[in-house]
Amino acid sequence: MKKKVAVGFLTGMLGLSLVGGGTWAAFNDVEQLSGAFATGELDITVTGLNTDEEGRYVVLEDANLKPGDKLQRNMTIYNNGTLAIESVYLHFDEGEFISNLQEHPNYDELVAAGVVPSTNQEFSDEFLKQFRINFYDISPSDRPIFERIPIFQHVEGRFYSTDFTLYDLKNGDFSDFTQRMRNWYVKQVDGKNVLDLSPRSGFNANQGASFSIEIEFVDDDETIGSGGGKDRLYKQNAFQLASMNFGLSLEAVQFGGRTGTTDNELESRNRNVD
């Protein structure tokens, strides 16, 4: 009997507590905070080059080439966006290689001499090795051409003689060249070396830089033998009647994140390199 009374009493007290708790009032105040974000734009354009039917910039296009020929093209990379750009990576995009060497009258002699690669991929790689490539920084535009700065270093006023080829650009192994290249042009991306064609400090928004690309078809007079007759055939004859389509991609990369402590601070800071 006592146990039941006690339970009933507690239940009644709980009911009073709940009723009583709903009748109290409190002071209060409300202030509202607002926020607004808008992202910037990372955008590069290239001037000085024609475009193909798919809208891609045509940097090098020619035919009927022979050893010793050089292709030179000038272009300007322009930061057309609102964000500063730290780097512009140059990537090689391999395309289709075609050889019609079997139509050449000396095909059998070249095969017998072992200068014709056995697979199409090997043939493609050897073909790319025939083309030396170099880049010159010609910014600002009023700098005389003889003062243009090569990616490769000068030594005692002379330009390094190099064998940096389209194959090396594709392969991403610059180990034979890094000691001779200006280090701010070389970056590591996904475990491979790539060339960075941005100015040394990067691009501000609405800023551009001009470059000259030079590709030289190597002139190699090494013969397939040391005797007379067909031994006088050049090994490089293996690359007659060959063609390749390839692409060069420019990848613009932003600077690392910054911290803004005042309103609209990053809107202006992110436009500039500093």
Q: What is the rounded radius of gyration, in angstroms, for the C-alpha atoms of the chain?
A: 33
266 inside domain: no
**Distance separating alpha carbons of residues 86 and 136, to the nearest angstrom:** 19
Q: Report if residue 72 sits inside a domain.
A: yes
- Dihedral angle computed from the Cα positions of residues 56, 62, 63 and 65, in that order, rounded to the nearest 10 degrees: -140
The tens digit of pLDDT for each residue in 23-79 reads: 667 887 787 877 777 888 888 888 877 777 777 666 667 778 899 998 888 888 889
Q: How far is CA 12 from the centre of its chain?
A: 78
- Position 24 scores a pLDDT of 64
Residue 197: domain span? 44-255
What's the pLDDT tens digit per position in 182-201?
677 788 888 888 888 887 77
Record the pTM.
Answer: 0.75
Number of domains making up the chain: 1
Whether 152 maps to a domain, the answer reads: yes
Report if residue 19 sits inside a domain.
no
272 located within any domain: no
* 13 located within any domain: no
Domain membership flag for residue 8 = no
pLDDT in tens, 144-156: 333 445 555 544 4
Q: Give strand pairing partners of 244.
A: 97
The beta-strand segments (E) located in 16-163 are 44-47, 50-51, 57-58, 70-79, 85-93, 97-99, 131-137, 149-150, 154-155, 158-159
Name the nearest CA neighbour of 185 among 170, 167, 169, 171. Answer: 169
Residue 187 lies in a domain: yes
